[in-house]
Structure 1
Amino acid sequence: MQRRACLAAVGTALSTSLAGCSSVLSAFDDDPCGGEECHIGMNRTEFTPAVYEVSAGDTVVWKNTSEADHTVTAYESGIPDEAEYFASGGYESQAAAYEAWEDRGGRLGTRDTFEHTFEVPGTYEYFCIPHEGAEMIGEIVVE
């Protein structure tokens, strides 16, 4: 009887330690860029990471790491006053980006990338037009 109790305890301890290993491995799986040349990935309805910090003058690269179409579109009211507006497709305003999306303008297909250089310190809020209703939003913090 003692042998069975010992084996049960060892089995429980082994299961617990392996569960810990799998959670460590899954933490690495949370990097949608997988070591590739991007900083922010896009899954079905979120930017990963949702908040990204950079220094003034740094370029950020987004990559569509999902099968859905996405955009990277700044909220005009969510960027510093002196900052340059940004949107995939090169639109100069949020209204222009919305209008272009009617014909899929600014679309980032699977594995497509978009980059923007942030010159002005501050907080920049952005979103994905087709998934705005699902609250696919992100934030860049520029120091």
Structure 2
Amino acid sequence: MKRLSLLGKRLAMMVAAVACIFGLFSPTALAEDHIIKMGADNGMLAFQPAQLSVKAGDTITWVNNKVFPHNVVFDANSNPGGAELAESLSQPKLMMTPNQEYAITIPADAPAGDYSYYCQPHRGAGMVGKITVQ
């Protein structure tokens, strides 16, 4: 009887250890935070950085930096996730105040590829960006 109890305890410890290891290496545990400035430090109408590589589970925060107003609109016609995902990632409402933020987390099921986005008021001035989901 004691032998059976000892085997049960060992099995429980092994299961717990495996669960901890999987928890350490889950996508959420490895997720990173990224910041993109809306309006470059030098006053140019640009996202800084303009290109960024991320993984599913990563969080991207856009911060209103210079030359307001800005927004973040993902191009429904040029991203691998389609129009519905583009809309869910977008923030079409204009951000008017310094340091105002907008954040998204890349969904776990987001298809890999390049996601183009832009600032609606400044798109013609070249304020565009690209997120590459790996």
How high is the TM-score relative to the length of structure 2? 0.62
Matched, 1:107 2:113: no
Give the ranges of 4+ consecutive aligned residues of structure 1 lying more than 6 Å apart after TM superposition. none
Q: CA deviation at 1:38?
A: 5.6
Q: Paired residue for 1:8? A: none
In 2, Cα distance between equivalents of 1:50 and 1:65: 14
Which 5+ residue runs of structure 2 have no aligned equivalent? 1-32
Question: Structure 1 residue aligned with 2:132, among 119, 123, 141?
Answer: 141
Q: CA deviation at 1:71?
A: 0.6
Question: Structure 2 residue aligned with 1:130, among 109, 115, 121?
Answer: 121
Q: CA deviation at 1:79?
A: 1.4
| Corresponding letter in the other structure for 1:84 | L
Q: Deviations over 1:72-95 (max 9, x none)?
A: 00000121135712211xxxxxxx
Q: Does the 8 Å CA contact 2:37/2:48 hold for their aligned counterparts?
A: yes
Matched, 1:62 2:62: yes
SS at 1:40's partner residue? strand
What is the root-mean-square deviation of aligned Cα atoms in Å?
A: 1.8
Which 5+ residue runs of structure 1 have no aligned equivalent? 1-36, 89-96, 98-105
Q: Paired residue for 2:37? A: 41
The count of corresponding residues between Structure 1 and Structure 2 is 91
SS at 1:72's partner residue? strand
SS at 1:63's partner residue? strand
How high is the TM-score relative to the length of structure 1? 0.58
Task: Looking at secondary structure, tell me which structure has more strand per residue.
Answer: 2
